C-alpha cells in the first residue's frame, strides 16, 4: 500500500508540475500575442496595410481563445470540449490541454491559482477594448487614412496604455504562477520525502519482522527437534533415560578405555506386581515415578539413571571404584527398604534386587557387561530378594539360573 501511495504521489506530483508548467508556457504565448496584437494594430493605424491587420487578428485570436476556454471552465456545468477548443486556439500544445483543464477544474480555489485567475480575468475588459479598437480603426481606414496627427497620437497613446496594462497583469500572472509552482514543488518534495522515509521504515520493520519470524520458526524447529530427540532417548513416564540411551552411553563408556573402572547397576523391584494387581496401573505408574526420583538423589553429574523397562532400572557410574559402586548399590537398597508407598489408604513396602558389575577390562563388550550385571540381579532374586549381588565379571563367579526371568520375578 505504501508503494502504491508513493507511486500515486509521484504521479500526482508530475501531473501538477506539468500542468503548472503548461500554464506558464501558455501565459508566455498569451502575453506575446497580446503585445503582437497591439504592435500590428499600431502599424496598421499608421500604414493602413491590410496584411498588418490580418497579423493583428491572428495574434489577437490567441488570448481570445484562452479567454473562451476559461469561460467554458467557469460554466456550470463545465463545457470541457469548448475549453479544449479554446486552449487549442490559444496555441497550447494538444498534450498540455488535458492538464490545463484538470488543474483549473480541481485546483481553481488554491490560493496561488485563484490569484492568477484574477489577474487573467482582469485583462478581459482590455481584450474587449482592443478588439473594438481594431474594428473602429479598420472602419476609419476603409474610408480614408487618418490625416489628423492629434487623433493618430491619441489612438497610438491608447494602444500604448493598453499594452502597458496587459504587461502588468501578464507579469503578475507569471509571478504568481512561479511562486505557486515553487510552493507546490517544495510541498510535493516534502510529501515524497515523508512517504519515502515511511516506506523505508516500513521495509525495515517488515524485514525485521520476517527475520524475527524466521528466527522464531528456527527456534521452534530446534525446540521440536530437541523434544523429539529427548523423546527418543527418554522414558515418557519417569523422564529418565530409556534403554536405547542407556546402552548407547554404556557403549561410549566401554569404548573409553582410559576412563578407569566402570560401575554398572541393574535394579529390579520386588513387589511391583503386587501394587499393579491390587491398586491398578495408575498406582504402579505413580510408584515408578517416585522410585525414579529416589534413584536420582545424590547422583554425580556424569552418572546416568535409566528406566530399562517395566520395573527394571539401570545405573551407569563412570570412574567409580568397585568398593564405591557396591556402597552406592547398598545405599540404594536401604533407601528402597525404608521407602513406603501409599495409595488409597494402603501402604506398600518396596524392596529391590540389585545386581552390580564392576568393569575394568577395556575389551568388555556391551553384551558381556549387561549379561554380567543381569546375572548378578538374577542371583540376588534367587537368594531371597532385597539384596545386592556383585558380579566380578569372572566366568567362575557368574551363575545364571535356568528358569525364565518372569518366573523368578513372580
Distances (CA, A) of 358 to 246, 361, 385: 16, 9, 20
Which one of 3.40.50.300, 3.30.70.270, 3.40.50.720, 3.40.50.10320 gives the CATH number of domain 243-409?
3.30.70.270
Q: Helix and strand tally (H, E) in the chain?
A: 13, 7
Contact present, 38 and 130 (Cβ < 8 Å): yes
- Please report which confidence band the pLDDT of residue 145 belongs to, taking 50, 70 and 90 as the band edges: low
CA distance linking residue 31 with residue 34, whole number of Å: 5
Quote the cell numbers at residue 331: 545405599
Phi, psi of 388 (to 5 degrees): -110, 130
Reported as a single tens digit per residue, the pLDDT across 313-338 is 999 999 999 999 999 999 999 999 99
Q: Residue 271: which residues within 8 A CB-CB, separation 6 or more?
A: 348, 349, 350, 351
Pick from 40, 15, 166: nearest CA to 96: 15
Q: Residue 354: which residues within 8 A CB-CB, separation 6 or more?
A: 265, 266, 267, 268, 329, 332, 333, 377, 380, 387, 388, 389
Task: Kindly state the DSSP code that residue 402 receives in the 8-state scheme.
Answer: S
- Please report which confidence band the pLDDT of residue 219 belongs to, taking 50, 70 and 90 as the band edges: very high
User: CA 31: distance to chain centroid?
Assistant: 55
Average of pLDDT values for 120-148? 81
Sign of CA dihedral 27, 31, 36, 38: positive
Is the pLDDT reported for residue 177 higher than 90?
Answer: no
Pick from 287, 284, 324, 282: nearest CA to 303: 324
- Please report which confidence band the pLDDT of residue 408 belongs to, taking 50, 70 and 90 as the band edges: very low
Average of pLDDT values for 30-44? 87
Is the pLDDT reported for residue 401 higher than 60?
Answer: no
Average of pLDDT values for 30-51? 86
Task: Kindly state the DSSP code that residue 345 receives in the 8-state scheme.
Answer: T
Q: 171-195: string of b/e by CB count within 10 Å (b at 16+)?
A: ebbbebbeebbeebeeebeeeeeeb
Q: Residue for cell digits 519482522?
A: 209
Quote the cell numbers at residue 353: 534386587
- Please report which confidence band the pLDDT of residue 257 belongs to, taking 50, 70 and 90 as the band edges: low
Q: Residue for cell digits 567362575?
A: 396
Per domain, the residue ranges of the chain are: 2-204, 243-409
> How confident is the model at residue 143, as a pLDDT?
66
Strands 352-359 and 340-343: unpaired
> How confident is the model at residue 406, as a pLDDT?
37
CA distance linking residue 15 with residue 103, whole number of Å: 9
> How confident is the model at residue 392, as a pLDDT?
57
**Entry pTM:** 0.51
Amino acid at each position: 500500500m505504501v508503494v502504491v501511495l508513493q507511486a500515486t504521489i509521484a504521479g500526482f506530483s508530475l501531473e501538477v508540475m506539468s500542468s503548472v508548467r503548461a500554464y506558464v508556457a501558455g501565459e508566455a504565448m498569451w502575453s506575446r500575442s497580446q503585445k503582437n496584437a497591439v504592435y500590428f494594430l499600431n502599424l496598421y493605424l499608421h500604414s493602413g496595410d491590410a496584411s498588418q491587420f490580418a497579423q493583428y487578428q491572428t495574434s489577437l485570436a490567441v488570448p481570445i481563445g484562452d479567454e473562451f476556454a476559461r469561460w467554458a471552465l467557469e460554466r456550470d456545468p463545465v463545457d470541457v470540449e469548448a475549453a479544449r477548443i479554446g486552449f487549442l486556439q490559444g496555441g497550447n500544445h494538444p498534450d498540455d490541454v488535458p492538464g490545463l483543464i484538470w488543474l483549473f477544474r480541481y485546483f481553481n480555489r488554491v490560493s496561488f491559482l485563484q490569484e492568477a485567475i484574477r489577474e487573467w480575468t482582469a485583462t478581459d475588459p482590455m481584450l474587449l477594448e482592443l478588439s473594438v479598437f481594431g474594428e473602429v480603426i479598420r472602419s476609419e481606414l476603409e474610408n480614408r487614412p487618418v490625416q489628423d496627427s492629434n487623433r493618430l497620437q491619441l489612438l497610438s497613446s491608447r494602444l500604448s496604455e493598453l499594452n502597458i496594462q496587459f504587461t502588468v497583469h501578464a507579469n503578475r500572472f507569471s509571478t504568481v504562477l512561479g511562486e505557486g509552482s515553487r510552493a507546490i514543488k517544495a510541498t510535493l518534495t516534502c510529501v515524497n520525502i515523508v512517504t519515502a522515509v515511511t516506506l523505508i521504515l516500513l521495509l525495515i520493520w517488515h524485514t525485521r519482522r520476517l527475520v524475527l519470524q524466521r528466527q522464531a520458526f528456527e527456534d521452534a524447529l530446534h525446540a521440536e527437534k530437541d523434544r523429539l530427540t529427548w523423546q527418543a532417548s527418554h522414558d515418557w513416564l519417569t523422564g529418565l533415560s530409556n534403554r536405547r540411551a542407556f546402552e548407547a552411553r554404556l557403549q561410549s563408556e566401554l569404548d573409553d578405555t582410559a576412563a578407569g573402572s566402570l560401575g554398572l547397576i541393574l535394579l529390579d523391584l520386588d513387589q511391583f506386581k503386587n501394587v499393579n494387581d491390587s491398586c491398578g496401573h495408575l498406582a504402579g505408574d505413580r510408584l515408578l515415578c517416585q522410585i525414579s526420583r529416589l534413584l536420582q538423589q545424590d547422583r554425580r553429574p556424569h552418572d546416568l539413571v535409566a528406566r530399562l523397562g517395566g520395573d527394571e532400572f539401570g545405573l551407569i557410574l563412570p570412574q567409580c571404584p568397585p568398593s564405591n559402586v557396591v556402597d552406592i548399590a547398598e545405599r540404594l537398597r536401604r533407601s528402597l527398604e525404608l521407602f513406603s508407598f501409599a495409595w488409597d489408604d494402603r501402604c506398600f513396602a518396596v524392596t529391590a534386587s540389585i545386581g552390580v558389575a564392576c568393569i575394568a577390562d577395556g575389551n568388555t563388550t556391551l553384551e558381556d557387561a549387561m549379561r554380567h550385571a543381569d546375572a548378578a540381579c538374577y542371583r540376588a532374586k534367587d537368594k531371597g530378594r532385597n539384596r545386592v549381588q556383585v558380579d566380578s565379571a569372572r566366568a567362575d563367579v557368574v551363575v545364571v539360573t535356568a528358569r525364565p526371568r518372569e518366573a523368578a520375578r513372580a
